[in-house]
A and B are shown apart, each in its own frame.
Chain A
Amino acid sequence: MSGQSAPEHLDARRLLCPLPVIRTQDRIVDMRAGDILAVCCSDPGARYDIPAWCRINGHKILEISEGDYEFTITLQVGESDAVQPGD
């Protein structure tokens, strides 16, 4: 596994589902297994959708931290054998 460099950040605030998932998915295409991505969201739906998308696509949720009106989902890119959009 490579990666473990400084986390990348994705601002998905004000986006409504499924856009936070789409933006996460599209960002991960350019990342390597082991890399960390922190996604900042404000739509409560993303709290369920991003972890669900990660589970089915083989990525790992490391942490969900809560803010006042937003929260950050930190995930680690998995060793996916599947093609990803934009490949």
Chain B
Amino acid sequence: MAKAKAVALISGGLDSLLAARVVLGQGVHVEGINFFTGCCVEGHTHAIRKRDSEKPKRNNALWVAEQLGIKLHIIDVVEEYKDVLLNPKHGYGANLNPCLDCKGFMVRKADEWAVAHGFDFLLSGEVIGQRPMSQRMDTMPVVVRESGAGERLLRPLCAKLLPPTLAETRGWVDREQLHDFSGRSRKPQMALAEKYGFTEYAQPAGGCCFLTNREYSSKLGDLWNARGHREYELDDILLLKVGRHLRPRPNFKLILGREEGENNYLRGYCSQFSHLRILSHRGPLGLIDGAADRDDLLLAARLAARFCQGRDAAQVEIEVHEHGGETWTTLVRPMPVAEVLREWYV
């Protein structure tokens, strides 16, 4: 009999690693799938910030797939994901994380992919009670129903607490060898990891994306607010991960690199934004997001000077590049710390 084929949703964390391993151990052919929404924790900040450069810059989903010896398909869902983030039917979690809608969306995409590529079922690392929104006893069936995956979705780590799925009724996997994990404790997962010899694995604290992060959500809310609409492009949400963001006036925001890696990254956006370069001292590159007039740009220049090595100097020389306009140089007095209002920090 040909091996059954399963697609595993791989986030890069321990749970999806174990779930896939459990099913692999039953002789099923497993391939991984991972979705890039633009808000993922993977990669970006490590890639951008130079200070992290000594740490390995591995992508956890790829690393998990390699540990398991399975193929991994990474799918760009940035465009489709916008609707999930902007119009979540089930609302947001503690921050701007639409976890329940997001899970339903990812399971649906994985299911479509599985069907299109001749796979028999899909599996995820969800555990009942593990997360407050998407992994509760009452919300687990919502994901099954709304994704359209129905009984094609197997959750190997808590399958024994749920009705049998296709993989079990067809005999592709033995239900008795699946698990009954529930609750927030990580002990059963850690014991299982030990059993399989996984000693090193990622344990993202808040979840798999930046939307569970309070600071990130606050920057996203500010962006929507300032623009008067919530449409966004990939660059918008990537830029929220980089630099210090200050909004001294409602019509513009100043983004300042915090170190060399961030300055390098921001430099790539100079052709799209008005920006500030500090000439007389070492300091951040500043991007101006929004419509800023000359007075706004001078304010931004004084503020940027506050964050350069000339912060205590009488004057700092700054080159101002107006987007689609002139480039001019100005000497400014760095803004005293007392004038930098706390509420400017986004």
Are A and B a genuine interacting pair, yes or no?
yes
Judged by a CB distance under 8 angstroms, whether B44 is at the interface is yes
A87 within 8 A of B: yes
Task: Tell me the interface secondary structure of chain B in the complex.
Answer: mixed
Query: Once the chains bind, are A17 and B47 in contact (CB under 8 Å)?
Result: yes
Interface hits, B62-107 → A, CB 8 Å: 62-63, 65-66, 69-76
Q: Are A17 and B48 in contact (CB under 8 A)?
A: no
* Cross-chain contact A45 with B57 (CB below 8 angstroms): yes
Cβ-based interface call for A56 (8 A):
yes
How many residues of A are in contact with the other chain, CB < 8 A? 27
Q: Provide the bound-state CA to CA distance between A17 and B41, in Å.
A: 10
CB-defined contacts of B46 to chain A, threshold 8 Å:
45
CA A26 – CA B76 in complex, angstroms?
10
Chain A 22-51 interface mask (CB, 8 Å, partner B; 1/0): 100110000000000000000111011100
* CB-based contact B66/A52 at 8 Å: yes
A73 within 8 A of B: no
- A19, B36: Cβ atoms under 8 Å? yes
> Number of B residues whose C-beta is below 8 Å from A?
34
Is A18's beta carbon under 8 Å from chain B?
yes
**Inter-chain contacts of B62 with A (CB < 8 A):** 18, 21, 49, 52-53, 56
CA distance A41 to B57 in the complex (A): 15
Please state if B268 and A87 are interface contacts (CB–CB under 8 Å).
no
Q: Min CB distance, A57 to chain B, in Å?
A: 5
User: Of the candidates B43, B75, B117, which one forms a contact with A16 in the assembled complex, judged by CB atoms under 8 Å apart?
Assistant: B43
| Contact across chains for B43 and A18 when beta carbons are under 8 A apart | yes
- How many angstroms between the C-alpha atoms of A45 and B60 in the bound complex? 12
Which of A17, A55, A57, A83 sits near B118, CB closer than 8 Å? A83
Is the CB–CB distance between A17 and B71 below 8 Å?
Answer: no
Q: Which residue of A lies closest to B261 (CB)?
A: A44
Question: Counting CB contacts under 8 A, is A9 at the interface?
Answer: no
Interface status of A67 (Cβ within 8 A of chain B): no
- For chain B, residues 254 to 299, give those with C-beta under 8 angstroms from any C-beta of chain A: 264, 268
| Contact yes or no, A44 B58, CB < 8 A | no
What chain A residues lie within 8 Å of B70 (beta carbons)?
56
Known: A17-B59, A19-B36, A82-B31. A45 touches B47 (CB 8 A): yes
A8 to chain B, nearest CB (A): 20
Q: Of residues 133 to 171 in B, which have CB atoms within 8 Å of A's CB atoms?
A: none
CB distance from A79 to the nearest CB of B (A): 14
Q: Which of B56, B58, B69, B71 contacts A82 (CB 8 A)?
A: B71
Residues of B within 8 A of A45 (CB): 43, 46-47, 57, 59
A78 to chain B, nearest CB (A): 11
CB distance from B105 to the nearest CB of A (A): 17
Q: Which 4 A-B pairs give the minimum distances between C-beta atoms? A: A17-B43, A45-B47, A45-B57, A52-B62
Where the two chains meet, the residues of B that have a C-beta atom closer than 8 Å to any C-beta of A are: 31, 34, 36, 40, 42-44, 46-48, 53, 56-59, 61-63, 65-66, 69-76, 113, 117-118, 238, 264, 268
Return 7 A-B CB contacts under 8 Å, by A number: A44-B57, A45-B43, A45-B46, A47-B57, A48-B56, A49-B57, A53-B72
